Amino acid sequence: MTMIDGLECGPFDRESFLRLKAAGVHGVVVTCGFWEGALESLDSLGRWRDLVRDNADVTCMGDTPEAIERAAEEGRVAAIMGFQNANLFEGRIRLVEMFAELGVRVVQLTYNNQNELAGSCYEAEDSGLSRFGAEVVREMNRQGMLIDCSHVGDRSTLDAIKASEKPVAVTHANAASLFPHKRNKSDKVLHALRDTGGVIGCAAYRNITGDYYSGPIEQWCEMVARTVEIAGIDSVAIGTDRGHNMDRAIYDWMRMGRWTRGVDYGAASAARPGKAPPPDWFQELEDMRVIPDGLRSVGFNNEEVEKILHGNWMRLYRATFRTSDRYEETQQ
């Protein structure tokens, strides 16, 4: 069985794609930026496109559902361009279309701080979706971009689900009722995803998964099964939040950007400030290959395993991603 990972981060290299291929992954949303504005985001996107072009034997741009399916057939890994913040738009609604033209397909409305669009999960109070945020949601619908609410506060997430004409994603988080953490989502959000065709990608990041569900693969898959009980089999997938080639400077940028002179731990804490140990079952990237059997071990049948590994993301991408025909229709 082939697999799609709804979100990974860090600076990929050729080895990253080779290891994903060895793990059975044929599609991955990569993180092109966190805090960057438009110009820096263009620069980052250019580097990602160069990386894909220079390694075309093992990867390709995953800018349409058809390209992702073709990658699986050809034994390559489709790189789906994503950003974990909406700073790249810089308050300019037309930049949504410009970045869509360049292949961006997934954008998170906020990262760890409130922005012009919505409230972050870490704010003391979630402001909800702003007027500009509602405009961006509509424009992302129009331009074939998937709305991601992983780091977004629950109120803003529910607002975005209501405002969007298309299903919304939480690409990398878990159920807060299973492991309480500000980054995880309430049952109310998971029910809203279920009722509107959205998808949550279950994370394998210890800080938001907890030590128990970071044990053997069967225990992580138990978490997936309990998430399915809340959100339904059609709304649960994989979004590991795995990092590539991470070092202290990258963690500092992810957590603090340019917005503070102090220290911020992101999803970590003062008690566990550094890099979180990977789950016991996920010491190497190639270990993702154990997920299918892990899911079967907790009671999923083959059809359900296929939905979690691949089918649910593909259904969502078909509902939201740009295709040439759909784009031409929006311009008439």
Give the pLDDT confidence score for residue 116 in this predicted structure: 97
* 181-194 exposure pattern, b = at least 16 Cβ within 10 A, e = fewer: bebbbeeebbebbb
Note the pLDDT of residue 221.
98
Query: Is it the case that residue 326 has pLDDT exceeding 80?
Result: no
**pLDDT tens digits for range 48-61:** 999 999 999 999 99
* pLDDT band, very low/low/confident/very high, at 272 (cuts 50, 70, 90): confident
CA distances from 314 to 6, 9, 232, 237 (A): 10, 20, 16, 10
Tell me if 127 sits within 8 A of 134, measured CB to CB: no
Looking at the predicted structure, is the pLDDT value of residue 330 above 70?
A: no
Distance CA 81, CA 30 (A): 6
> Whole-number mean pLDDT of the chain?
96
Distance between CA atoms of residues 146 and 237, nearest Å? 15
Taking 90 as the threshold, does the pLDDT of residue 270 lie above it?
A: no
Please report the domains of the chain, with CATH numbers, ordered by start residue.
3-330 (3.20.20.140)
pLDDT for residue 130 is more than 80: yes
Q: Which two tokens stand for residue 125?
A: 């109070």
Per-residue pLDDT at 331: 43
Query: For residue 269, what pLDDT is reported?
Result: 87
Q: What is the pLDDT of residue 298?
A: 98
Q: Is the pTM of this model over 0.85?
A: yes
Each residue's pLDDT tens digit, 160-197: 999 999 999 999 999 999 999 999 999 999 999 999 99
Whether residue 324 is predicted with pLDDT greater than 80 in this model: the reply is no
Across the range 64-93, mean pLDDT stands at 98
In this model, does residue 274 exceed pLDDT 90?
A: no
- List residues bridging with 30 in a β-sheet: 8, 81
| Per-residue pLDDT, 185 | 98
Are 36 and 44 a contacting pair, CB within 8 Å?
yes
